[in-house]
Structure 1
Amino acid sequence: MKVKKRLLMLLLMAMLQSATVSTATAQISRLPNGIIVKAGKQKVSLLTANGGAFCLSLNDSVAPATINSVFIDPGNKVVTPYSVISVAPLYGIKTTYGKLMINTATRVWLLYDAAGKLLIRDGTYSSTGTSIQITHTAKGLLYGSGNKSSKELEKNQSASVVGNGVVGIPYFWNNAGYSAFGVSVNDDTPATWDRTNDKAVLTWKFTGKAANLYLWPAKTMYDAASGYVKLTGRPRLPPRWAFGYQQSQWGWADSAYIADVAMKFRTHKLPVDAFIFDFEWYTTLPDYAVKKEGKEGFTDFTFNPKLFPYPAKQIAGMKSHGLKFIGIRKPRLGNAAALDTARKNGWLINANTDSRDLNFSNAGLRKWYHKKNKPLIKAGVDAWWDDEGESYYTCYYWWNKAQYDLLTSARPNYRHFTLNRAFSPGTQRFGYSTWSGDIMSTWPSLADVPKDLLNFSLSGMYYGSCDIGGFQGTPTKEMLVRWFQAGLFFPIMRSHSNIGTTARFPFLWGTDGEDAMRKALNLRYQLLPYIYSLGHEAYNTGAPIMRPLVMEFPADTSVANMTDEWLLGKGLLAAPVLNAGGKRNIYLPADTWFDYHTGDVIMGPKIIAVNKALDEIPVYVRAGTILPVGPVIQYSEQTSATPLEIHIYPGKNGNFKMTEDDGVSYNYTKNDTRTTLYYWNDKTKTLTWNVTGRYTGKNVYKTIKAVLGEEEKITTIGKKGRVVFRR
């Protein structure tokens, strides 16, 4: 027994010695994901996170560690191998992607990339007892952080709040080669950063006694996006129908009106996938005049019988014609009895005010909310439109958590989709879209939309959208047409209008307006195979669907802040007309470009002046692009025997991964997909392809028409194949 005790004592001593290194100036304690370093009176943790980032962790009251935050993906369990660096007074950790170090004598921290390049050389930190600041020199251009502090792509500060179509995100990418993301102790008072006082010195501010600053080396915006989704979560795909056109308005009159509009869309051959309903679907009057105690008899969780006297039957009829149902939700209650229940249970965000807004972070409330909404899902509601949820920073996160869990229980394995007026980090894990708010029906508002959505793309929101036509007011015919033409190149294409304005139904805007909008809708649906595949790319790599030109041309100073044209993927350049008159200048960066409509070749860099008729849309395709183009269909789930066209744009080698799946379930997360990798060899003028994956649903394409200029070749896809064109 004495021998066993002695061996146990020796083992414990050995473990303690391996876990702690003592010096005159520092003590290191080793953790599974990093080390705790004592520098002076302050303890600092240098940690690894989610397989691709470092975390600099500070805490004034306990040993620093990662803060529990909804911003960080709990599903990423990757543990990063690391080694400890101990060369007094320098201590740190080293991984395959870089090093995070601290000098315990000076309390300066440093960040290196994998090649040993010093990215941050003078990081410091300080505490007031109620807040923490982290400061370092940050030269270079900064991107990310949303559209609140500025609609420009380049940033000098963040504003971590949410509002009507605006967001601030505690994040940036520095083109000097790294990204940073801040987490405070309270997700509803997020960290902020600022570089306005001194253009070289950047200061992070964290309210509270703890702070986590996540850092990862990132040479490009693609590296930044990849690191961001490793940290905060992959952007799940909405259902495929959500990539089609969504028609919304405030002012659906009654059931006959809904049926008539649906009939006109189909008979006029105007593709559409969803109708979106405002207040009138569940209540007879808006709740804006309802007082804090609520209104007796107000209906929060029922169908308005004027519009939906037989909801399940009507919604089933809509679906039989390829139309999904999306209903608006508000983050508050109007019914007096329901409000009384919420107040008694402490479910409101502040029971001592006039607010009727719900605190969705409360698990008890979410359970009650499930019970109230479940009959609506059972009746056929496909998705929600969440409006006015900016009362606290994480409202949309917890609101979507409630709706996601409800859908999982009511309709297992069906993809969650919501339209939301803002977002916070991590909401992309739900299959979540954000629109740019209640904007005006003006040309300046149209020009602002791509600024907003490109900023969304660089801040972790992959499915940006807007009120096509503007919400407030009635646009001119020309303005609405141009808005449709821009909208076909947004990740989510949705129109909307305020009550009392002319609905954005194309058939209400004259024959020429309708024809032009139909042409835009047809192109959207033809591009669905491409755009949907980009959604899969976003899920797998973090690359956004809608990309600023600076992502592909980082050395071109002309595009560093450009927002009036953008890329879908790497190869399709949209340059819609965003002003009256049809004229605009278009900049094409250094490459070979093809006019999508005419096939004309343009060598960049070049500025071209165009003058487009009402139904003409400026679109250009980059050399080396392989572009899948589907047939014109009336809704996304409509199948067609028409071959998938594979358009090849020569001048260099190229490849594209086209991904197909069932479009409605999460089976794609388990690799139940069919991926066709197309490859173009420009020298031999040969298109080859290889098909992988186990998905074999009836909606997959079986035949392709390969198109190179005026030459076309039709063949079956099979498991692999090749087509050779004339040289």
Structure 2
Amino acid sequence: MKFTDGYWQLLPGVTELRPRQVDEVVAGDDTLTVYASTAKIEHRGDTLNRPLVTVSFHSPMDGVVGVTIEHFRGGLERGPRFGLRREVADVKITTPQLNGAPLATFRSGPLEARVATDGDWSVEFVADGRTLTSSTARSVGVLTDADGRHFVREQLTTGVGEHLYGLGERFGAFVKNGQTVDIWNADGGTASDQAYKNVPFYLSDAGYGVFVDQPERVSFEIGTEVVSRAQFSVEGQSLTYYVVAGPTPKDVLRRYTALTGRPARVPDWSYGLWLSTSFTTDYDEATVTHFVDGMAERGLPLSVFHFDCFWMRQFHWSDFVWDPATFPDPEGMLARLKAKGLRICVWINPYVAQRSALFDEGKERGYLVTEADGTVWQWNMWQAGMALVDFTNPDAVAWYQDKLRVLLDQGVDCFKTDFGERIPTDVVWHDGSDPQRMHNYYTHLYNAAVFELLEEERGEGEAVLFARSATAGGQQFPVHWGGDCESTFVSMAESLRGGLSLALSGFGYWSHDIGGFEGTPDPAVFKRWLAFGLLSSHSRLHGSSSYRVPWAFDDEAVEVTRLFTRLKLSLMPYLSQVGRRAHTEGLPVMRPMVLEFPDDRGAAAVDTQYMLGEHLLVAPVFSAEGDVDVYVPEGTWTSWLTGEQVVGPRWVRERHGFDSVPLYVRPGTVLPVGAVDDRPDYVHADGVTLHLVELPDGHRSVTRVAAGSGADDALFTVERTGGRVRVEAVGAPGAWAVQPRGGARVEHRGDGAVEIDL
């Protein structure tokens, strides 16, 4: 939201209070509070009728400094609030009395806030002797607009050549400089400035991040109100934000996800190919069986089958009852599908249609969101008379979970938690939450309720969702997918930008509808999207009004599906470990180039490719002809599919058939490749081949590979000295091999070591 007319003047009707002079600094055990008057104080009389702005500093963990800006403090403390993790931080505080300088400092680990106590308002955030960003004399504002609404604003400086990223799953330009972004969840598809997943966090390639700890609408002006500053504001009398130290983008994400929650570990089976009934298509058990058997007959490995909305009766969503006209024997059908080696996913949402028996049950028990007079809130969107489950009520959560538990007992393995964005703000919540703050946060409660049920019933590491909406902290409940995209190359590219932005917002796993959701893709679009989708964290064939089985397009689509599905499954020893780092460190599986190469200015704005983990570069092809530009960072990169090499840093133009895609291995890589390519959940270490790619002299690395349920990972230590490589295995459950790129394959069995000449 903008408040100024140019740089010097306020918009008509807007008034502003700014901290002008520090009156007093108060140091607590682990807090620093600064009281600043809104005008210069020359004598005692100047304090009359003079507002104060209070700015306090605190820290939830090392390397994270929190700032709270307050005007009036008498308001009600209404939730919700983000559930932040807190640790004992190494805090050091000094004041002018202690350091003999016109400066108060608040240090948390490597990050220090330096507050000028003399002269104009100034706060510098410093790490390793370098100012990361700062709040200047015109940055902090307590504002009132022409309608009498109150706001608090902060503006943090940005430097020359600095790029900002994140703010959730945003489908526009990947670099957020020059954009106005409102953090407000909306069901707007992937082609506008609206987003399903809004996260009030941005990451800077200058070595820090900023998280605004406000679940309501946060308005960001990234270099738009003042071109050299990132502005954020909220309606009300206070604003809290955190500066998160680096120094690298990976370090920022590690700290940010430690604060807001790390992604859960997902099961290996979820990495396989998911096939859906699609949305409004006609289907029954015969249709589903035809699809499943058709995939098997064509050698297309399938891991999960998904039933979309109309597994339930029309006008009854969501009552979690199978449509008896279409699926008269759901338990038997699910058992027959599971006997084919499949997992089962079903679509759900948090609404209850009036025709459903659950509506009366929820109304009677007080489990549905109400208006101020106690009337159940309803609308006719999607299904007639829909009401909304109140997840702020613990009894309503348990009630909703019990309905889903019946499905788990029938054989369902996971849920697609759709919707969660169009949450009303004129309602009353069971726990008294502020409706404005609950609008974005509702999806967090919704996904948490379903995910926690799955962990309870299936066990930790076996729970997985396919969720559309989220806010800060939602990364704890994976997986998320990109929502309703068009079936075009342009939409394929905008979907990737959304995933890259989400990755820099703390989310570890991400997927999208292969071929696009709306409409029916041209066969060329579908085949190009297949390579992109099957080299993503998670892979799903899903559409709106048409099926997405590959043979519905052409014979070549079948071949392309087979090729890239089997390629992905063979990479499971690698992908599983990348996913584990998402869980333990908060680093995403699909990584923007800037995350891996923060010092390469050529990588800063690249948004048409990504790193799949640390070692594989993927550049989806966005044209039928197959022309693609690839940015190759420094070093000698090797094509995984052809063995050809490219030396960077530079852009290269390539042309690829539908059975190919730029897939490059980073120099200095030990890439573990599995012996199985028809399912994702196998013992990855048994029969694994370690591919050695451009290892430099002096290279030493340890590669972890899963060794089976209940067993510790197998560890493979690889060292190169001159032209000789030594590989030592510990915990290997069976045979394994070493394959120098372009050299002879060397096999081994069990623990021990092998030495080879390159």
Q: TM-score range by the shorter chain?
A: 0.7 to 0.9
* Alignment-mate amino acid for residue 127 of structure 1: V
Structure 2 counterpart of 1:233, from 251, 261, 285:
261
Range moving further from structure 2, 191-200 or 78-87: 191-200
Offset of residue 597 of structure 1: 1.9
Structure-2 residue corresponding to 1:493? 539
- The Cα shift of 1:547 comes to 1.2
Query: Which residue of structure 1 lines up, in the alignment, with residue 749 of structure 2?
Result: 716
Q: 1:136 aligns with which of 156, 165, 180?
A: 156
- CA change 1:408–1:136 in 2 (3 A) is closer
| Number of residue pairs the alignment of both structures matches | 670
Secondary structure of the structure 1 residue equivalent to 2:701: strand
Shift of 1:242: 1.0
Cα pair 1:508 1:514 within 8 Å, conserved: no
Match of 1:273 in 2: 303
> How far is 1:131 from its partner?
2.2
Counterpart for residue 38 of structure 1: 35
Structure 1 residues 573 and 326, CA, compared in 2 at 3 Å: closer, same or farther? same
* 2:59 matches 1:48: yes
Indicate the percent of aligned positions where both proteins have the same amino acid: 25
Residue 9 of structure 1 is matched in structure 2 by: none
**What's the counterpart of residue 405 of structure 1?**
452
User: How far has the Cα of 1:397 moved from its partner?
Assistant: 0.8
In 2 relative to 1, CA 340–97 (structure 1 residues): closer, same or farther, beyond 3 Å?
A: same
CA distance in 2, matches of 1:94, 1:208: 28
Following superposition, the deviation at residue 630 of structure 1 comes to: 1.1
Deviation at 1:385, TM superposition (A): 0.7
Q: Is the 8 A contact 2:513 2:540 kept in 1?
A: yes
C-alpha separation in 2, matches of 1:413 and 1:309: 32
Find out whether 1:518 has 2:562 as its counterpart.
yes
Residue 624 of structure 2 is matched in structure 1 by 580
Q: Equivalent residue of 1:144, what SS?
A: strand
How many Å apart are 1:381 and its aligned residue? 1.4
The alpha carbon displacement at 1:505 in A equals 1.3
Contact (CA 8 Å) 1:151, 1:455: kept in 2 or not? Answer: no
Write the mapping of 1:90-239 to structure 2, written as runs, cut at 5 A: 90-106=103-119, 108-123=121-136, 124-128=139-143, 130-139=150-159, 140-148=162-170, 150-157=172-179, 158-164=181-187, 166=195, 167-184=197-214, 187-190=215-218, 192-239=220-267
In 2, Cα distance between the equivalents of 1:550 and 1:415?
31
Q: Equivalent residue for 1:57?
A: 68
Does the 8 Å contact 2:266/2:461 carry over to 1? no
How far, CA to CA, are the matches of 2:82 and 2:556 in structure 1?
Answer: 47
Match for residue 87 of structure 1 among 64, 89, 96: 96
Deviation string for 1:39-97 (max 9, x for gaps)?
A: 44333221111343110123334499999765343xx3421121211125422322321
Q: Does 1:458 align with 2:476?
A: no
Aligned pair in 2 of structure 1 residues 120, 444: CA closer, same or farther (>3 Å)?
A: closer
How far does residue 205 in structure 1 lie from its aligned partner after superposition? 0.3
**TM-aligned CA deviation for residue 401 of structure 1:** 1.7
Are 1:418 and 2:465 counterparts?
Answer: yes
Q: Deviations over 1:252-297 (max 9, x none)?
A: 61112222222222232211110111122222x2x4xxxxxxx7xx
Answer whether contact 1:133 1:205 (CA < 8 A) is retained. Answer: yes
Match of 1:703 among 715, 732, 735: 735
Does 2:444 correspond to 1:429? Answer: no
Shift of 1:598: 2.4
Q: Distance in 2 between matches of 1:682 and 1:252?
A: 62
Unaligned runs of 5+ in 2: 1-21, 38-51, 145-149, 190-194, 380-385, 423-438
Is the contact made by 1:90 and 1:101 (CA closer than 8 Å) also made in structure 2? yes
Residue of structure 2 in register with 1:302 after alignment: 321
**Aligned counterpart in structure 2 of residue 550 of structure 1, from 594, 609, 615:** 594
Q: What residue in structure 2 maps to residue 348 of structure 1?
A: 369
Which is further off, 508-517 or 337-346? 337-346
CA separation of 1:282/1:680 partners in 2, compared to 1, >3 Å: closer, same or farther? farther
* Equivalent-residue separation in structure 1 for 2:108 and 2:76 (angstroms): 18
**Runs of at least 4 residues off by over 6 Å:** 63-68
Over 3 Å counting, the alpha-carbon distance change for 1:262 and 1:357 in structure 2 is same
Structure 2: distance between partners of 1:557 and 1:81: 34
Contact 1:58/1:65 (8 A) holds in 2: no
Matched, 1:357 2:388: yes
CA separation in 2, counterparts of 1:630 and 1:66?
54
The aligned counterpart of 1:683 is: 722
Where do 1:636-651 residues align within 5 Å?
636-638=680-682, 643-651=687-695
User: In 2 relative to 1, CA 349–562 (structure 1 residues): closer, same or farther, beyond 3 Å?
Assistant: farther
> Once superposed, what is the RMSD of the aligned Cα atoms?
2.9
Contact persistence 1:233–1:428 (CA under 8 A): yes
Letter in 2 for 1:633: D
CA contact (8 A) 1:132 1:211 kept: yes
Residue 7 (structure 1) aligns with: none
Determine whether 1:390 maps to 2:401. Answer: no
Name the aligned partner's letter for residue 519 of structure 2. G
Distance in 2 (CA, whole Å) between partners of 1:622 and 1:567 is 9
SS at match of 2:359: helix
The answer on whether the counterparts of 1:626 and 1:680 sit within 8 Å (CA) in structure 2 is: no
Output the CA distance in 1 between the equivalents of 2:637 and 2:529.
24
SS in 2 for 1:169: strand
Note if contact 1:171-1:459 (Cα within 8 Å) is conserved in structure 2: yes
Superposed counterparts of 1:283-298, under 5 Å: 283=313, 285=314, 287=315
SS in 2 for 1:58: strand
Q: Please tell me whether residue 329 in structure 1 is matched to residue 348 in structure 2.
A: yes
Q: Which amino acid aligns with 1:347?
A: L
Once residues 450 and 436 of structure 1 are traced to their aligned partners in structure 2, the CA distance between those partners, rounded to angstroms, is 9
1:208 deviation in Å? 2.1
Deviates more, 1:112-121 or 1:49-58: 112-121
Q: Does the 8 Å contact 1:347/1:362 carry over to 2?
A: no
Q: Give the superposition deviation at 1:307.
A: 4.6
- The secondary structure found in structure 2 opposite 1:314 is helix
In 2, the alpha carbon distance for the partners of 1:409 and 1:641 equals 29
Look up the SS of the partner of 1:368 in the other structure: helix
Cα distance, 1:421 vs. partner? Answer: 1.8
Task: Give the superposition deviation at 1:484.
Answer: 0.6
Specify the alignment match of 1:14 in structure 2. Answer: none
C-alpha distance in 2, partners of 1:435/1:102? 42
* CA–CA separation in structure 2 for the residues paired with 1:206 and 1:188: 8
1:510 is aligned with what amino acid? D
In the superposition, relative to structure 1, how do residues 631 and 86 fare at CA in structure 2: closer, same or farther (>3 Å)? same
Offset of residue 223 of structure 1: 1.6
Distance 1:346 1:438, change over 3 A: same
